[in-house]
């Protein structure tokens, strides 16, 4: 079952800004990676039938389509690739799988670009007093905070900690209520979890149409004797609070991983993603980092990709730029 269409302005809408993230998590839970003899597999729908393929094959099919699109535009054969990776994606399994997949279609991965570092390098060098920079990214299914250490004299950048949050806060909120009332983990029920995501999206759409309140219907939940699970009433203010709290939690967890107990540890914030310009997002960041620069000198939604494209053009061979976010967005769906 497909989710209802999100608001057309979803990248600039605080209510819908985590809708893509919710759909990505839904697809990954319904179609998880599984292992046989240490090889990763997943199921895909081909010609109306479920088929098991290796994760390498899935990535190879994706890269092959991207290669064909690039070649049709440039008119030259692609032989190399730059892979733009958010830190949440930058794990050994994904990197090695992408390497094998690229090799299988005759493409050499020239480099994996760690997106937070690439974003920070675009603002390099920093002012002399800047030691800790938070790269904050939100939009197109991504919510990621990375704390970077700037070496004295701008001699280098290292990632101290990173936190990547998944899913939709409203779905998680209702899911917790379901667990308290019915004692079930809704994420373990494929059809019901799909319907819950759809119901949450419908509630968001109703609010964005101008209604003062809406409901997340839960008619599809299993019945439990003596327990009545009522629809969740939502309004605009509640959803704004949920989403802004989700942002604060993501940043706080990133800093905690780095051993920092105070937001004052951050000297500057580099903004990345199409949703960072949402007023509620900016207000949340200002409240967390009062007086600290929020760097948006470069267009947050495009500057990382533009820098990656520049690196590709400097290559001697025809090089395509691939974002790992695009792989998440084409994950199998049933």
Residue 146 in domain: yes
Q: What is the pLDDT along the chain (334 residues), one digit of tens a residue?
A: 344 444 544 557 899 999 999 999 999 888 888 898 888 999 887 777 888 999 999 999 999 999 999 999 999 999 999 999 876 665 788 889 999 999 999 999 999 999 999 999 999 999 999 999 999 999 988 999 999 999 877 678 999 999 999 999 999 999 999 999 888 888 888 889 999 999 999 999 999 999 999 999 998 888 777 777 888 999 999 999 999 999 999 999 999 999 998 999 999 999 999 999 999 999 999 999 999 999 999 999 999 999 999 999 999 999 999 998 888 888 887 6
User: Is the same domain home to 210 and 321?
Assistant: no
The angle formed by the CA atoms of residues 277, 167 and 323, to the nearest 5 degrees, is 65
User: Based on the number of CB atoms within 10 Å of its own CB, is 20 exposed (0-12), middle (13-18) or buried (19 or more)?
Assistant: buried
User: Is the same domain home to 142 and 249?
Assistant: yes
Number of Cβ within a 10 Å radius of residue 235? 13
Residue 57 in domain: yes
Residue 93 in domain: yes
User: Is the same domain home to 145 and 287?
Assistant: yes
Residue 12 in domain: no
Residue 11 in domain: no
User: Is the same domain home to 185 and 229?
Assistant: yes
The angle formed by the CA atoms of residues 304, 306 and 311, to the nearest 5 degrees, is 95
User: Is the same domain home to 155 and 289?
Assistant: yes
What pLDDT score does 88 carry?
60
Question: Which domain CATH number covers 287?
Answer: 3.30.420.40
User: Is the same domain home to 224 and 95?
Assistant: no
User: Is the same domain home to 234 and 255?
Assistant: no
User: Is the same domain home to 41 and 108?
Assistant: yes
Q: Of 202, 224, 239, which residue sits at a domain end? A: 239
Domain boundaries, position 136: 126-167+241-300
User: Is the same domain home to 145 and 252?
Assistant: yes
Bond before 125 cis per omega within 30 degrees: yes
CB 136 within 8 A of CB 149: no
Residue 66 in domain: yes
Tell me how far apart the alpha carbons of residues 191 and 30 are, in angstroms, rounded to a whole number: 9
What pLDDT score does 2 carry?
41
User: Is the same domain home to 163 and 246?
Assistant: yes
Reported as half-sphere exposure (CB side, CA atoms, 13 A), residue 26 has a value of 28
Instruction: Please count the structural domains in the chain.
Output: 3
Alpha carbon distances (Å) from 92 to 88, 271, 331: 11, 27, 19
| pTM confidence score | 0.90
User: Is the same domain home to 137 and 97?
Assistant: no
CB 222 within 8 A of CB 182: yes
Residue 7 in domain: no
Question: Which domain CATH number covers 183?
Answer: 3.90.640.10
Number of Cβ within a 10 Å radius of residue 242? 18
Tell me how far apart the alpha carbons of residues 14 and 276 are, in angstroms, rounded to a whole number: 10
Residue 52 in domain: yes
User: Is the same domain home to 86 and 211?
Assistant: no
């Amino acid at each position: 079952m497909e989710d209802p269409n999100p608001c057309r302005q979803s990248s600039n809408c605080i209510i819908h800004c985590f809708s893509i993230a919710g759909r990505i998590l839904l697809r990954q839970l319904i179609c998880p990676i599984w292992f046989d003899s240490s090889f990763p597999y997943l199921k895909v729908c081909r010609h109306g039938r479920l088929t098991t393929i290796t994760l390498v094959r899935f990535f190879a099919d994706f890269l092959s389509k991207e290669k064909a699109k690039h070649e049709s535009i440039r008119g030259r054969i692609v032989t190399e690739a730059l892979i733009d990776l958010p830190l949440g994606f930058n794990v050994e399994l994904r990197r090695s799988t992408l390497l094998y997949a690229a090799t299988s279609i005759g493409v050499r991965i020239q480099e994996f670009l760690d997106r937070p570092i690439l974003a920070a390098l675009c603002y390099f060098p920093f002012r002399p007093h800047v030691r800790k920079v938070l790269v904050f990214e939100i939009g197109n299914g991504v919510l990621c905070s990375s704390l970077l250490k700037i070496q004295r004299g701008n001699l280098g950048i290292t990632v101290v900690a990173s936190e990547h949050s998944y899913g939709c806060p409203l779905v998680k909120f209702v899911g917790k209520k379901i667990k308290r009332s019915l004692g079930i983990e809704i994420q373990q029920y494929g059809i019901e979890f799909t319907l819950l995501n759809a119901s949450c999206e419908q509630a968001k759409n109703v609010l964005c149409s101008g209604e003062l309140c809406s409901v997340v219907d839960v008619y599809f939940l299993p019945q439990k004797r003596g327990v009545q699970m009522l629809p969740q009433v939502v309004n605009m203010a509640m959803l704004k609070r949920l989403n802004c709290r989700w942002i604060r939690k993501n940043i706080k967890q990133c800093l905690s991983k780095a051993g920092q107990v105070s937001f004052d540890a951050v000297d500057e914030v580099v903004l990345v993603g199409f949703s960072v310009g949402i007023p509620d997002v900016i207000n949340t960041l200002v409240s967390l980092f009062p007086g600290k620069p929020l760097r948006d000198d470069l267009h947050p939604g495009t500057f990382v990709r533009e820098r990656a494209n520049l690196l590709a053009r400097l290559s001697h061979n025809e090089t395509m730029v691939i974002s790992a976010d695009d792989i998440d967005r084409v994950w199998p769906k049933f």
